[in-house]
Amino acid sequence: MTAERGALLAEADRALAAQDFARAAALFEEAAKGSEDPSVMLRLAGVYRACGRPRMALEAVHRALALAPLDFTALMLRASLLERMGDPNAGEAWGHAIAQKPDGPLPPQLVAVLAEGERCHAAWLDAKEAGLAVRMADIEARANVDEAARIERFRSNALRRTRPYHSQPTHFHFPGLREREFHPRALFPWLEKLEASTDTIAAELDAVMNAERAELVPYVQYAAHQPLDQWRELNHNPDWTAIHLLRGGRRVDANARHCPRTLALLETLNQPAIPGASPNVMFSLLAPDTAIPPHVGYNNARLVCHLPLIVPEGCWFRVGAETRDWRRGEAFVFDDTIEHEARNPSARLRVVLIFDLWHPDLEPIEREAVAAVIGSDASRVPEGL
């Protein structure tokens, strides 16, 4: 800052303190000439707002944003000015400001302003969504269940209520496979047969849990030096454990011998056969008041199926932007290489049968290629996943 500009700003501050808004504005305008400092424009905007000239204030804010397009304070001021002026774009402007909210606590003077802005933005979103729903009602009425779900998600993404999530495997990525958080049931007609066997599978779960020589191990197990930071909190943690029936393609006889019907049913499904990596079948046990943090799986050539068996009230599972409650006997298939997380907020144990499947987009020759690559490097497959 030049000495001349510094003197102008000091004099402008004195004029502002004396509530001589006209002189303060003139001095800030002079100081702003040739300046690359957006804070000068924001101080000018504040003067114009104080003296009841919101359009001039908005022009000054736009000059600040031309220098710093993502400045949170400038975006907040722009949104509040538009709201004050009754501009229909105020709600969207608040969305732009909220998106740039910095981490950590805000100055007290901004907290109430932001809260009002969030209310304005929420009301704008609700009104826009209602209008789009009316406009799209006939289209959605003609769509099937899966099409309607994708259309609804498209609308949600367009409104920025949700965002796109993509497959991000930690180790092995096969190109060209469709990315879906939860895959359509129509692709897996055997789901109904699996669900019809819920009581049988639950009875075998009870048998293995009460067996003297059953093996119950932490779900996540890896050496501390390995670069798998997403699992640090749950590594070797007994809050998330597993009773493996098949692990990395190997039968865990201490457990599997108690579950013949479960394994016989799964033998009819299209599980990957990859030495050292798959198939995998396990009962996943999540302790009371335990969260599984957001994470991704290692290989997008497979999908994962859950069959909930013991589900206390309130247990939920999120994949990407979609959150579902587990419900006993209601199975689903999802892509575990898309960010997902889970929580058991209850005071009881939650148990889910989990097993892996080939991704349905893979051709037989592609499955052979996947098995050859992963099977030759199975030591890279994270233990227990």
Please write down the long-range contacts of 66-75, taking CB distance under 8 Å and 24 or more positions apart: 67/36, 67/37, 67/38, 67/41, 68/38, 70/100, 71/38, 71/100, 72/97, 72/100, 72/101, 72/102, 73/42, 73/110, 74/38, 74/42, 75/100
Q: What is the pLDDT of residues 286-317, one digit of tens each?
A: 999 999 999 999 999 999 999 999 999 999 99
* DSSP state, residue 191: H
Q: What is the pLDDT of residues 361-382, one digit of tens each?
A: 999 999 999 999 999 876 666 6
The 316-319 sheet, strands edge to edge: 290-295, 340-344, 316-319, 322-325
Q: Which fold has domain 185-380?
A: Jelly Rolls (2.60.120)
Domain boundaries, the chain: 3-122, 185-380
3-class secondary-structure state, position 86: coil
Nearest to 307 by CA among 269, 272, 339: 269
* DSSP state, residue 143: S
Instruction: Take residue 304 and report the two structure tokens written for it.
Output: 């994962």
Task: Please provide residue 330's backbone torsions phi and psi, each rounded to the nearest 5 degrees.
Answer: -110, 100
Residues 6+ apart with CB under 8 A from 95: 121, 124, 125, 160
pLDDT confidence bin for 216, thresholds 50/70/90: confident
- Angle, CA 63 vertex, CA 61 and CA 67 arms, to 5°: 110
Q: CB count, 10 Å around CB of 39?
A: 15
Average pLDDT over residues 239-260: 93
CA torsion, ordered 87, 88, 91, 93, to nearest 10 deg: -60
Q: What is the pLDDT of residue 219?
A: 59
- High-pLDDT (> 90) share of the chain, %: 73
Q: What is the pLDDT of residue 206?
A: 95
Average pLDDT over residues 270-289: 94
Average pLDDT over residues 49-54: 90
State the Cα–Cα distance between residues 44 and 59, nearest whole angstrom: 10
Q: What is the pLDDT of residue 67?
A: 93
Residues 6+ apart with CB under 8 A from 178: 361
Place of tokens 């000439």: 33
Q: What is the pLDDT of residue 225?
A: 47
Nearest to 187 by CA among 172, 197, 198, 177: 177
3-class secondary-structure state, position 341: strand
Q: What is the pLDDT of residues 66-115, one digit of tens each?
A: 999 999 999 999 999 999 999 999 999 999 999 999 999 998 888 999 99
Q: Which fold has domain 3-122?
A: 1.25.40
Q: What is the pLDDT of residues 52-68, one digit of tens each?
A: 899 999 999 999 999 99
